[in-house]
Structure 1
Amino acid sequence: MTPATSASLTRLGLTGGIGSGKSTVAALWRAAGHRVIDLDAYSRAVLDVPGEGVEEAVARFGEGLRTPAGTIDRAALASIVFADPAARADLEEIVLGRVDRAVGAEERQAADAGELFVIHDSPLLLEKHQEAGYRAVVAVLARREDRIERVMRDRGKDRAYVVSIMAAQVTDLDRIRRADRLVLNTSGRDVLADRAEHALAVVTAGLGDLADSAVR
């Protein structure tokens, strides 16, 4: 579920599989001055800050998940929900409403500031079939082996873990079919930056004209 946004504000989606370089593209766009809303960060905050979200998770999944800091042991929780669709659905119910409210507040700030668009950095956008909520969706693609090696190197995960996450996500063929624009992460960072800049320019073309028409 994605929150309703202001009529004067366009929502764009950014997605990509684990290790694809999606977060790098998000960082590049953010550094260029664009508002990129990290949906994963908002989701993590529900369980990483003591409060109602943590209490609901403990009530559903057990006191043993509470850390000494009063947050949720995310690794232990992941081991529960990864293999249990019902548990995963319960977790999403705990998290998503809070995420929607936080995202909505940031979008209102963007609209009040006169910004023309916001970008949702959303790793599960296509898995959740949310593309209809966006003017355009940009997907980042990379070679399978590059993705596996990147996650193993940068996050300290083993190959089996990365492959299991990939299996739970949509395929690159799905991304190609369903995204409006692709960014290929098949060369160095400089090439990726150029491709990301071009993709954003394409999907935002004409937004200023649309805003002027709405005012008139």
Structure 2
Amino acid sequence: MRHHLQRVGLTGGIGSGKTTVADRFRETGITVIDLDELSRAVLDQPGEGVDDMVARFGAEYLNRAGTADRAKLGDLVFSDAAARADLERIVLTRVAEQVSALDEAAAAAGEEFIVHDSPLLLEKGHDADFAVIIGVLAPVEERIRRVMQRSNKTREWVERVIAAQTTDDQRRRRCHILIDNTGTREDLAAAADAAVGEVRRMLAPSDPH
């Protein structure tokens, strides 16, 4: 009988600390699929994804290597909802096939669950695709400060990205487990470990007696 693999979603807004949580999961032996990484690969190498991007947005969004000019595209899609939807459609249709293959591999290996690190999980209404959803939260001002510090982006740019994402109120309502990232990195690691324990409890078969 084929092992039934449970999917766990991990999500959070820009600057929330979601990537640090995903890294902690990996450190403890959990398989994590990084949807952002797979999405970037679609546009970071010549191929059908880049061809479709050029057909939709124009060759001015290519860099010298013949791949997507990510910074220029980012400025466009975070100020134009229609452009953002078109780019997501180009990327996500190609990512879906890769995700399916990774899920199959994890199931074949007998893993109890696999984590999908998915920034757009809630925005795309994919709640029903996951047995458990983990949300990482942090105060908006702290998130803005982190992103500006690490990425050399303007406050206006970060605020536009946050405005395009699901609110933390929505995350509180729709996530099964919440991780509060307002302390130290050690606090966040401990919260991530506790979340894994809670996932295992939630996914454990119920006792019929």
Above 0.5 in TM-score? Answer: yes
Q: Does 1:86 align with 2:118?
A: no
2:138 matched residue in structure 1? 142
Instruction: Find the aligned partners of 2:144 and 2:80 in 1 and give their Cα distance.
Output: 24
Across the two proteins, how many residue pairs are aligned to each other?
206
Q: Does 1:23 align with 2:24?
A: no
Q: Does 1:41 align with 2:54?
A: no
Give the one of 3, 9, 14 matched to 1:13.
9
Instruction: Find the aligned partners of 1:140 and 1:206 in 2 and give their Cα distance.
Output: 18
Describe the shift of the 1:84–1:206 C-alpha distance in structure 2 as closer, same or farther (beyond 3 A): closer
**Comparing 123-132 with 100-109, which one deviates more in the overlay?**
123-132
2:161 matched residue in structure 1? 165
Instruction: Find the aligned partners of 2:10 and 2:185 in 1 and give their Cα distance.
Output: 18
Instruction: Find the aligned partners of 2:93 and 2:162 in 1 and give their Cα distance.
Output: 26
Could you tell me whether the CA contact under 8 Å between 1:15 and 1:139 is conserved in 2? yes
1:66-117 Cα distance to aligned partner (Å, 9 max, x none): 2111111011122332232222222122111110001111111101111111
Which sections of structure 2, spanning at least 5 residues, go unmatched?
none
- Report the residue type matching 1:11 in the other structure: R
- Report the residue type matching 2:37 in the other structure: A
Q: Does 1:125 align with 2:94?
A: no
Instruction: Find the aligned partners of 2:148 and 2:202 in 1 and give their Cα distance.
Output: 41
RMSD: 1.7
Could you tell me whether the CA contact under 8 Å between 1:116 and 1:208 is conserved in 2? no
1:99 matched residue in structure 2? 95
1:113-135 Cα distance to aligned partner (Å, 9 max, x none): 11111101011111111111100
Could you tell me whether the CA contact under 8 Å between 1:15 and 1:124 is conserved in 2? yes
Q: Does 1:75 align with 2:68?
A: no
Instruction: Find the aligned partners of 2:161 and 2:54 in 1 and give their Cα distance.
Output: 25
- Report the residue type matching 2:109 in the other structure: A
Give the 3-state SS of the residue equivalent to 2:33 in structure 1.
Answer: strand
- Report the residue type matching 1:86 in the other structure: A
1:191 matched residue in structure 2? 187
1:146-165 Cα distance to aligned partner (Å, 9 max, x none): 11111111111121111111
Q: TM-score, normalised by structure 2?
A: 0.93
Instruction: Find the aligned partners of 1:78 and 1:150 in 2 and give their Cα distance.
Output: 18
Give the 3-state SS of the residue equivalent to 2:83 in structure 1.
Answer: helix
Give the 3-state SS of the residue equivalent to 2:197 in structure 1.
Answer: helix
Instruction: Find the aligned partners of 2:51 and 2:202 in 1 and give their Cα distance.
Output: 46
- Report the residue type matching 1:205 in the other structure: R
**Comparing 44-53 with 162-171, which one deviates more in the overlay?**
162-171
Give the 3-state SS of the residue equivalent to 1:205 in structure 2.
Answer: helix
Instruction: Find the aligned partners of 1:81 and 1:10 in 2 and give their Cα distance.
Output: 33
Q: TM-score, normalised by structure 1?
A: 0.90
2:56 matched residue in structure 1? 60
Instruction: Find the aligned partners of 1:155 and 1:71 in 2 and give their Cα distance.
Output: 21
- Report the residue type matching 2:139 in the other structure: R
Which sections of structure 1, spanning at least 5 residues, go unmatched?
1-5
